[in-house]
Amino acid sequence: MPDETAKARRGLHLGEIGGLLAYVRPWRGRFALALAALTVSMIFGLMFPLLVGHLVDAAVPSVAPPPDGWKPDINTVALLLVGTLAIQAVLTFFYSYAFNFVGENAVARLRRRLYETLIGLPMKFFGEHRVGELTSRLSSDLALVCDTLTGTIPQALRQTVMLLGGVIAIMATSPRLSLVMVSTFPVLLLVAVFVGRKVRRVSRAAQDRLAESATIVEETLQGIANVKAFANETYEARRYGAGVEAYLETILSSARRRAGLVAFIILGIFGSIILVLWYGARLMQAGQLTHGQLTRFTLYTLFVGGAVSSFAEVFSQLQRTLGANERVLELLAEKPEPLATTSAEAAPAQRLRGAVDFADVSFRYPSRPDLPVLRGFSLRAAPGEKIALIGPSGAGKSTVVALLLRFYEPDTGALLLDGKNARDLPLDVVRGNMAIVPQEVMLFGGSIRENIAYGRPGASEADIRAAAERAHCHEFIARFPEGYDTLVGERGVKLSGGQRQRLAIARALLRDPAVLILDEATSSLDSESEALIQAALATLLAGRTALIIAHRLATVRQCDRICVLENGVITETGTHAELMAAPSGTYRRLAELQFAPG
Ligand code: ATP
């Protein structure tokens, strides 16, 4: 992500804090009430030194009369103290819960928004970002935002009230004394701003490190079988260890700066407290101040000192959060794919007949602009026609599929669907009319029923059952004790390759697409499984246009036409018999190699 934005935003701008507060807008009523409760509670808190001062004066007959002329006895003051404490306790309960309620709700909403944005982003985006990084944004960056909304902002408000109230109270006793105190603030603030900026940059870097190491966890746990098969546990542990180390280094450097900041500010605060106390003690010596007044004085000074020193923490926490929030905002600003309808359950508004026409398409992946993948690729399929696409590895077969699904747009040339430029059709019409049976069937950790229904969320039980029967899944599903409720995936049963394939075919049948994309599995299956899959496929293919990345002779032979893709262009096209007749053709060579019997 561009560094200029980071530079532009390095300061602590009120607008950005406003941006954080904007997250709580839907709950502004409750937030305002919480603020009011907090302010009132703090005002009661500020009465504490006042009352304690009176308590001391009630005990020690003083030289000078108290300025307000009020001389209560010890018990009255003690009762008042207990009363203010009780009020404070009730108000604190109310505002603490309210701030947490608002903050957690705001972050939950932000989480949903961020996920909705993420999942709607175009494939290009996922080519440029790693999954672990994105999940880390969703968890740790948002956790920081949450802490700030529920903890730091209320704390900042509490300390502001304390600071203002304390300064006013001291000012009421001795303006000169308060001037002494307040004069130290600008220096403290300047240092806080200066160090705080650094904290923000470093903690943004730390959050990035954290995201990087999360990527390692994500990727290795996803591919745990590979890690183990290569006995690479130590290697991965070391790689992760290095990532954590990098994070640690960055976060500690941020912690050092924060520690320095806090230490400096505490030094400043206690310096001014000593100043105030010294001055106050002299006033008392001169008989201008009672014991109680000095006590009150000291307590207010401590309140003010505590408030200013916690500002340093608040400030650096805000800087950390704003660093994390920048990343969140950057993600939220990404432009999602323009799906016409947002509801996944809505049936495609427009049913296509299934004419597919790649017209002179050239394409490079946005992440690798130097490598032309398709170069003047042309392929036309009439509605209902079955086309086998074969070719050596890396020829661009999967890329053709990606373009057909409009994961990417051609650089030049066009993809026409039913004679219309696919660009002019809403994305949900294009994808809603297609189904893919991939090589690696992805099953979710849910029931078999849910996995089939993924082809058309909201499908009826009867439709799901019919699709399963036509895809020859019903036999094996019925053998499980829990039938369609059997869980698959990590904590459920493990299905064989052939069973997964048939489940994917059932899914596609349920979707009932005009165009079917079939990426045949390369691994060979036993002949019974193979026969079942072929039968299921025959049902699925009937009456639809199909683009098949074929690896089996049986499939290729059934197709109306075979296209050989080499280096991004079609080099041969024809039926099996026609292509076998060409003595030096690529198809013939591939067929003899790959499709050799056995
Ligand atoms: P195979 O049969 O091995 O799956 P294929 O014919 O499907 O190969 P493609 O996956 O379409 O080939 O890849 C064609 C070229 O595009 C390859 O050089 C590959 O490195 C490149 N490529 C594929 N996907 C991407 C991507 N997401 N970003 C950048 N380059 C890619």
Cβ 54 under 6 angstroms from ligand 1: no
- Per-residue pLDDT, 80: 93
* pLDDT 10s digits, 241-257: 999 999 999 889 888 88
* pLDDT 10s digits, 62-84: 555 556 667 788 899 899 999 99
Tell me how many degrees the CA angle 76-82-87 measures, rounded to the nearest 5.
Answer: 125
Q: Is the pLDDT of residue 99 over 60?
A: yes
H or E stretch including 199? helix 185-222
Atom of ligand 1 nearest to the CA of 391: 6
Q: Tokens 């036999």 map to which residue?
A: 475
- Per-residue pLDDT, 545: 93
Whether 306 is covered by a domain: the verdict is: yes
DSSP-derived secondary structure letter, 345? T
What is the pLDDT averaged over residues 104-114?
A: 91
CB 514 within 8 A of CB 396: no
Cβ 393 under 6 angstroms from ligand 1: yes
Q: Is the pLDDT of residue 342 over 70?
A: no
Higher pLDDT, 547 or 22: 547
Whether 322 is covered by a domain: the verdict is: yes
Task: State the distance from the centre of ligand 1 to the C-alpha of 396, rounded, in angstroms.
Answer: 5
Q: Is the pLDDT of residue 304 over 90?
A: no
Query: Same domain, yes or no, for 40 and 110?
Result: yes
Cβ 551 under 6 angstroms from ligand 1: no
Whether 337 is covered by a domain: the verdict is: no
What is the pLDDT averaged over residues 18-25?
A: 83
Q: How many CA atoms lie within 13 A of 389 on its CB side?
A: 27
- Per-residue pLDDT, 5: 42
| pTM, entire model | 0.75
Task: State the distance from the centre of ligand 1 to the C-alpha of 518, rounded, in angstroms.
Answer: 17
Write the CA distances from 362 to 148, 365, 399, 447, integer angstroms.
49, 10, 11, 42
- Per-residue pLDDT, 534: 81
Where does the pLDDT of residue 596 fall: very low under 50, low under 70, confident under 90, or very high at 90 and above?
low
- Per-residue pLDDT, 555: 78
Query: Same domain, yes or no, for 322 and 402?
Result: no
Rg (CA), the chain: 35
Q: Which of 300, 332, 364 is the last residue of a domain?
A: 332
CB 283 within 8 A of CB 174: yes
> Residue 17, exposed/middle/buried by CB under 10 A (0-12, 13-18, 19+)?
middle
Cβ 440 under 6 angstroms from ligand 1: no
Please tell me the distance from the alpha carbon of residue 277 to that of residue 174, in angstroms, as a whole number.
12
Whether 346 is covered by a domain: the verdict is: no
Query: Same domain, yes or no, for 311 and 381?
Result: no
Q: Is the pLDDT of residue 6 over 50?
A: no
Query: Same domain, yes or no, for 262 and 384?
Result: no
Q: Which two tokens stand for residue 257?
A: 């700066």
Tell me which residue range forms the domain holding 457: 356-595
Q: Which of 281, 316, 332 is the last residue of a domain?
A: 332
Q: Is the pLDDT of residue 135 over 50?
A: yes
Task: Tell me which amino acid residue 269 is.
Answer: I
Cβ 398 under 6 angstroms from ligand 1: yes
Share of the chain above pLDDT 90, in %: 27
Query: Same domain, yes or no, for 195 and 291?
Result: yes
Which neighbouring-strand residues pair with 515? 434, 545
- Per-residue pLDDT, 8: 41
Task: State the distance from the centre of ligand 1 to the C-alpha of 400, rounded, in angstroms.
Answer: 10
Task: Tell me which amino acid residue 303 is.
Answer: F
Mean of pLDDT over the chain? 84
Query: Same domain, yes or no, for 250 and 393?
Result: no
Contacting residues for 539 by C-beta, under 8 A, at least 6 apart: 470, 471, 509
Task: State the distance from the centre of ligand 1 to the C-alpha of 488, rounded, in angstroms.
Answer: 30
The number of domains in the chain is: 2
Cβ 397 under 6 angstroms from ligand 1: yes
What is the pLDDT averaged over residues 84-104?
A: 94
Task: State the distance from the centre of ligand 1 to the C-alpha of 564, rounded, in angstroms.
Answer: 16
Whether 210 is covered by a domain: the verdict is: yes
- Which protein residue's CA is at the shortest distance from atom 25 of ligand 1? 365
Query: Same domain, yes or no, for 38 and 98?
Result: yes
Q: Which two tokens stand for residue 542?
A: 């009937």
* pLDDT 10s digits, 418-464: 999 998 888 888 998 999 988 888 888 788 998 899 888 888 999 99
Task: State the distance from the centre of ligand 1 to the C-alpha of 371, rounded, in angstroms.
Answer: 10
Please tell me the distance from the alpha carbon of residue 53 to that of residue 299, in angstroms, as a whole number.
9
Query: Same domain, yes or no, for 19 and 137?
Result: yes
Whether 342 is covered by a domain: the verdict is: no
Q: Is the pLDDT of residue 520 over 90?
A: no
Query: Same domain, yes or no, for 259 and 365?
Result: no
Task: Provide the greatest CA pair distance for the chain.
Answer: 121
Q: Is the pLDDT of residue 598 over 50?
A: no
Please tell me the distance from the alpha carbon of residue 500 to that of residue 454, in angstroms, as a whole number.
14
Q: Which of 282, 317, 332 is the last residue of a domain?
A: 332
Task: State the distance from the centre of ligand 1 to the C-alpha of 272, rounded, in angstroms.
Answer: 68
Whether 345 is covered by a domain: the verdict is: no
Please tell me the distance from the alpha carbon of residue 80 to that of residue 412, in angstroms, as a whole number.
82
CATH number of the domain enclosing 424: 3.40.50.300
Highest mean pLDDT among 223-237, 266-280, 307-321: 223-237
Whether 422 is covered by a domain: the verdict is: yes
- Which protein residue's CA is at the shortest distance from atom 31 of ligand 1? 365
Phi-psi region of 452 (alpha: psi -120 to 50; beta: other; left: phi over 0): alpha
Please tell me the distance from the alpha carbon of residue 137 to that of residue 331, in angstroms, as a whole number.
9
Query: Same domain, yes or no, for 204 and 299?
Result: yes
- Per-residue pLDDT, 31: 92
What is the pLDDT averaged over residues 375-404?
A: 92
Please tell me the distance from the alpha carbon of residue 418 to that of residue 567, in angstroms, as a whole number.
27
CATH number of the domain enclosing 174: 1.20.1560.10
DSSP-derived secondary structure letter, 418? T
Please tell me the distance from the alpha carbon of residue 554 to that of residue 571, in angstroms, as a whole number.
22
* Among 129, 361, 364, 368, residue to substitute to test ligand 1 (most atoms within 8 Å of Cβ): 368
- Per-residue pLDDT, 81: 93
* pLDDT 10s digits, 152-187: 888 888 888 888 888 888 888 777 677 766 776 677
What is the pLDDT averaged over residues 518-526?
A: 73
What is the pLDDT averaged over residues 484-506?
A: 82
Query: Same domain, yes or no, for 121 and 267?
Result: yes
Query: Same domain, yes or no, for 268 and 396?
Result: no
